[in-house]
Amino acid sequence: MRLFNSLTSRVEEVVPTHPDGVVRIYGCGPTVYRQAHLGNLRTFLLTDLVRRALEFEGRTVLLITNITDVGHMTDDSSGQAVDRMQIAVEDEGLAPPEIAEKYTKAYLEDSAAIGILASHVYPRATDHVPEMIELTETLISRGHAYIADEGSVYFDVRSFPGYGKLSGNSIDELQPGHRELEVAQGKRHHADFSLWKSAGAGRLMRWDSPWGEGFPGWHVECSAMSMKYLGERFDVHTGGNDLKFPHHEDEIAQSEGATGHRVVSIWAHGGHLRLSGQKISKSTGNVVLVSDLVEQGIDPLAYRYLTFQTRYRSEMDLSLDALEAADRGLRRLRQRMAGWAGTPPPAERSDAASGLDRRFREAVADDLDMPRALVVLNEAVSSAEVPDGEKYALLASWDSVLGLDLERSAREDVELPPDVQDVVRRRDDARAAGDYATSDSMRERLTGMGYEVMDTAGGTRVRRRA
């Protein structure tokens, strides 16, 4: 499988660096002071897709998603910077661990609703402060960091020659934020960023450190936790485009500064989601949540399906029309699946099905070209050469990477209430015996019970009428 590497601006093969062959992935996770919106979730879907695509190829994956529950400031360069968690504490009247717990749970539920497979570990920043302190000490001892005013520690960007290699920002071009403040903070260069901050008065979340009471910077969290769980060299690191700078640029400086070598092989960044004119959310204004979709009667997986219609690196517009069209399209696909479900696949795969399968796999492996994969899927659906049973088998296997629960309608058909099953059985028996009068009356019974009746090669299939 190939992925576009933001660091080299090239599409590169994902090759596991560890001899065990396991592909190690770190995806920047949610900041848990509020609900994740569909934009955040688009980026988390990218990570899920990378993981599923690799597993689809038969690889074993180890995926880590961090939970940021401390240190993500509103604006790192301003004197008024406040920890986002602190704002939520004031707004909601809950303690920081309660806020973190509440939104971690919401994030996991939303992720599951859009078909994101659980990561193997969800390390929380607040559980890894000792590791962050240790990394900061290493950086000081290697001459990459220094202690400034009353117990804050900064990374010295000029000590790391590669600073800027991911984002293309050179140190000289970076504009100072608030020069007076930066001088007051004791920074040597305005681009230096904090690894550790001394805790001011009123600061709720604070830890002891060799530099006094304080709290870790945001970027150091991801260096410390990625290397703790994945080792000093790992394969793929994901995040949204906005994280390239400063978050990932700083992570590279920290991790490479501490180890003296390259740590991440491929940096994969996803394009942003934009809301177009229409208002989708009733309660939250400009932010759309999974619960907004549910409220509008849209299957959350329709959002997942919709994201596949745009290449992951491009920006994507979200509109209610597009969501509703995706919802209809997904339902139709599932109903087609249910219609094919009764027919067993042929003993040997047809050439047409093999060709489609090869093209689908190629599209996924080619830097996750999901729009192309969907073209192949549509061809399969309408193919005159592929028998129904084989179509079912093909789409069911592709669903391990699509994650759209394509077998849902077929499954619901099987899980019919016993009285409905009974009528279906009696109708099939009557038809087998050539008793068309009984067959017709059973059809009417089913219609009266609220079901749509279809005749397939496998017998009567019914589906609840929408």
Binding site for ligand AMP (CB under 6 A): 28, 30-31, 39-40, 42-43, 68, 239-240, 242-243, 272-273
Tell me: does residue 222 bind Zn ion (CB under 5 A): yes
Long-range contacts of 459-466 (CB under 8 A, 24+ apart): 459/342, 459/424, 459/428, 459/431, 460/424, 460/427, 460/428, 460/431, 461/338, 461/339, 461/341, 461/342, 461/413, 462/413, 462/416, 462/420, 462/424, 463/335, 463/338, 463/409, 463/412, 463/413, 464/412, 466/331
Residue 325 class from Cβ within 10 Å (0-12 exposed, 13-18 middle, 19+ buried)?
middle
Of 216-224, 423-431, 443-451, 457-465, which segment contacts Zn ion by CB under 5 A? 216-224
Contact of residue 345 among ligand AMP, Zn ion, none (CB under 5-8 Å per partner type)? none
Tell me: does residue 28 bind Zn ion (CB under 5 A): yes
Least distance (Å) between residue 457 CB and ligand AMP:
45
Contact of residue 222 among Zn ion, ligand AMP, none (CB under 5-8 Å per partner type)? Zn ion
Contact of residue 339 among ligand AMP, Zn ion, none (CB under 5-8 Å per partner type)? none
Least distance (Å) between residue 239 CB and ligand AMP:
4
Q: Considering beta carbons, is residue 28 or 54 the nearer one to ligand AMP? A: 28
Say if residues 287 and 23 touch (Cβ distance below 8 Å). Answer: no
Least distance (Å) between residue 229 CB and ligand AMP:
18
- What is the residue-wise DSSP string for 43-67? HHHHHHHHHHHHHHTT--EEEEE-B
**Please, which residues bridge with residue 300 across strands?**
none
Q: Considering beta carbons, is residue 37 or 427 the nearer one to ligand AMP? A: 37
Token couple for 389 = 């049973």
Q: Considering beta carbons, is residue 68 or 291 the nearer one to ligand AMP? A: 68
Contact of residue 252 among ligand AMP, Zn ion, none (CB under 5-8 Å per partner type)? none
Least distance (Å) between residue 182 CB and ligand AMP:
24
Say if residues 215 and 70 touch (Cβ distance below 8 Å). Answer: yes
Long-range contacts of 344-348 (CB under 8 A, 24+ apart): 344/389, 344/458, 345/387, 345/389, 345/390, 345/392, 345/393, 346/387, 346/389, 346/390
Contact of residue 43 among Zn ion, ligand AMP, none (CB under 5-8 Å per partner type)? ligand AMP
63: Cβ–Cβ under 8 A, 6 or more apart, which residues? Answer: 25, 26, 27, 47, 51, 119, 120
Contact of residue 272 among ligand AMP, Zn ion, none (CB under 5-8 Å per partner type)? ligand AMP
- What is the residue-wise DSSP string for 190-205? TT-EEEEEE--TT-SS
Least distance (Å) between residue 183 CB and ligand AMP:
29
Q: Considering beta carbons, is residue 64 or 380 the nearer one to Zn ion? A: 64
Q: Considering beta carbons, is residue 139 or 377 the nearer one to Zn ion? A: 139
Least distance (Å) between residue 142 CB and ligand AMP:
28
Contact of residue 227 among Zn ion, ligand AMP, none (CB under 5-8 Å per partner type)? none
Q: Considering beta carbons, is residue 32 or 337 the nearer one to ligand AMP? A: 32
Q: Which residue has the tokens 């980026």?
A: 43
Least distance (Å) between residue 197 CB and Zn ion:
17
- Name the site residues for Zn ion (rule: CB under 5 A): 28, 222
